[in-house]
Chains A and B, each alone.
Chain A
Amino acid sequence: MPVAIVGAGHSKFGARKDVNLPELSWEAIKPAMESANVEQKDIDFFVVGTAGFWSSEAAVPALIYEYGRFEDVGSMRIEAACATGSAAIRVGYTAIESGEADVVLVLGIEKMQESPNPTVIELIGRFGSYFWEFENFGLTFPGYYALHATAYMAKYGASEEDFAKIAVKNHFYGSKNPYAQFQNEITLEKALNSPYIAWPFKLFDCSPITDGSAAVVLASEDKVKEWGVEEKVWIISQGVGTGTANLSRRDTFTSLKSASYAAEVAYKKAGIDREKPYKELDGANVHDCFTAAEIMAYEDLGFARRGEGVELVREEQTYIGGRIPVNVDGGLKAKGHPIGATGVSQAVEAYKQLLSKAESGRQIDVRNGRFLAHNVGGTGHYSYVTIYGLEKR
């Protein structure tokens, strides 16, 4: 049974000290339900993606059930590190695909700023192998990706300046996204002069610590027909991959095997040519938790050949008008990265872009009617590649 996004909602991302967790969730749920034209009673199942532990509430689905006055509905909390949002979508998508549910509400929510930044840094550092990497060697999340950046620089001759250009692009588009945490453009100099976080990454190579929520209402093809839904975006395919907990158990640090695998699965199911997928896509959101991660994503997704992702950056091929626009919502870098919300935020972006509802200055040209989302948990520990489309497969 094909599955469509029939409604989408997004909170303002940022340091949301002005709201608590259910209030922030509602900022995404309300517009999602309104745009889908559904009421609480229409929802069969309710999935919440939230990584938690930096925020106080643990029973988030129950809390939202209570706050949102839902009734007689199953629910579940999902965690897959930074890919939590996509994992939540997967549960909703497969629940409908299997015939278990007709209408599913998927919420991604994270309130990271309920804890001070150092605590959050401590907790995210534990997203790899706790015992063999964190306990004795104090790896941090920027550190894990920096290990990849160093390997990429050594192998392909990329520079810190190349990485900074990603931040400049994503801030450029973040400035046009009213929901972004950072709505300001930055200069290359500003990025290059920021302090080191984990060499070779500086402050402006890193996505921020963010509060935010995003929600989508998923519906079966039957419901879409029954309700006569006009504004919808289909989930064409989704590939999911897993990587080893320890980076030392991997053969390469210039790509994420789990992401390449997820892309392969998603492309195959969607009937997209693995060699030049960008010719069949109108745009993409990729997981730029760190600048170099965006370059690796280009290559893992086949937007560029191995070692040539950095060329796309130098030639500005991932701005609107280039080979394929990437992260024109600001990406994780400028839009912000509320762990559990990110994957759902990407789905909201696919919905907006394909239905030509994006804000002025950041709307892509919709020709193929297909958009890709690439969401990575940990450092390739979990990878989700989802293809969204105006036409069902």
Chain B
Amino acid sequence: MEDLKKAAETNIKEYGFPVTIDEKSGALQWVDMRELNVRYIISIENLQEFYEGLREEKLLATKCRKCNELYFPPQKDCPKCMISEMEWVELKKDGVLETLTVIFVRPPSFSNYEPYAVAIARLDDGVRVTAWLNGDPEKVKPGDRIKIEVSRRKEGYLMYEIVPVEG
């Protein structure tokens, strides 16, 4: 995109418009002068306990007080019982790896990270968790035991991750 912007700037001066010629097809392109930066502001008002839990290295879920259904990601309402009487419970941090991948081609918003492994694990409580795998992806396979840990991201904030258990 940066090369396109530069080409457009040159062409504004030389030709009068922000245009460029597509390398492959030779077709004339208008390079948009308007740029949109998007950053969402997302309510976590009802997830406060979850983040308090992470601060204490705990992974919390919500549990319906009536039917005992566990919800992870946590949710405020139990649609099975149509009630909102939920309690926060700590999940067991042990489980089994179900699947994994390594993301080589990253989204631009993750370009400051090296290729990262993403895994889904089933915790012994029965709920599944998607998170980064902190460990050598070539040395683990579905069925291996894992645990959940909380660590600080490169960006400085706390996040849970899946860590292979040796042996």
Contacts and interface: CB of A to CB of B under 8 A. Distances in A.
Contacts of B22: 17
B11 to A, nearest CB: 16
A133 B131 CA distance: 8
Residue of B25, B106, B129, B141 with most partner-chain A CB within 10 A: B106
B110 interface: yes
B104 A118 contact: no
Interface string B88-132: 000000000011111111111110010010101000000111111
Interface in B113-159: 113, 116, 118, 120, 127-132, 137, 141-143, 153, 159
B24 A122 contact: no
B42 A131 contact: yes
A67 interface: no
A151 interface: yes
Interface stretch (A25-33, A99-107, A162-170, A241-249): A241-249
A154 B141 contact: yes
Interface stretch (A37-45, A84-92, A139-147, A277-285): A139-147
A121 B107 contact: yes
A132 interface: yes
A121 B105 contact: yes
A147 B4 CA distance: 35
B72 interface: yes
Most chain A CB within 10 A, of B102, B103, B137, is at B103
A140 B120 contact: no
B103 A138 contact: yes
B27 interface: yes
A196 B142 contact: no
B108 A119 contact: yes
Contacts of A201: 101
A148 B120 CA distance: 10
B68 interface: no
Contact of B128 (A116, A122, A151, A248): A248
Contact of A154 (B32, B118, B142): B142
A250 B122 CA distance: 11
A197 B115 CA distance: 10
B109 A246 contact: no
B99 A138 contact: no
Contacts of B32: 56
Contacts of A227: none
A339 B22 CA distance: 22
Contacts of B101: 143, 146-147, 149-150, 198-201
Max chain A Cβ within 10 angstroms of own Cβ: one of B99, B127, B137: B99
A17 B137 contact: no
Nearest to B137: A199
Interface string A115-133: 0101101100100011111
B54 to A, nearest CB: 11
A118 B1 CA distance: 9
B118 A147 contact: yes
B26 to A, nearest CB: 9
A132 B29 CA distance: 37
A176 B36 CA distance: 40
A17 B104 CA distance: 28
Interface of B: 1, 4, 22, 24-25, 27, 29, 32, 40, 42, 72-73, 98-110, 113, 116, 118, 120, 127-132, 137, 141-143, 153, 159
17 contacts: A15-B25, A119-B108, A121-B107, A136-B153, A137-B131, A137-B132, A138-B110, A139-B103, A140-B107, A143-B118, A146-B101, A150-B100, A150-B142, A155-B142, A198-B103, A201-B101, A248-B120
Q: Which 9 A-B pairs have the closest CB atoms?
A: A146-B101, A138-B110, A122-B107, A248-B128, A199-B102, A151-B99, A154-B142, A17-B27, A17-B22
